[in-house]
Amino acid sequence: MPFHLDEHVRRVGELMARYATVPMSLADACLVCMTEQYSASRVLTLDHDFRVYRRHGRLAVPAVMPEDRA
């Protein structure tokens, strides 16, 4: 998937500011922004912060992650 940070730098900055207490990395912000651009996509991740992040302000980020096994 093509993604050019220079085209989305404002949105990525907004996401990083909104989730500063998590904190959200630049890479995570780019992935969330990409899911806003490509709504049918899913993020494959080990990062459970994606359970907290929201795209378009209110929608859960579709993520595939392994289940916790205790």
What are the structure tokens assigned to 24, written together?
A: 């959200």
Q: Give the pLDDT score at 32.
A: 97
Domain ranges of the chain: 5-64
**Which parts of the chain have pLDDT scores under 70?**
68-70
Q: Residues 6 or more apart from 34 whose CB is under 8 A from it? A: 1, 3, 41
pLDDT at 26: 97
pTM: 0.89
Tell me the three state secondary structure of residue 59. strand
Strand partners, 43: 63
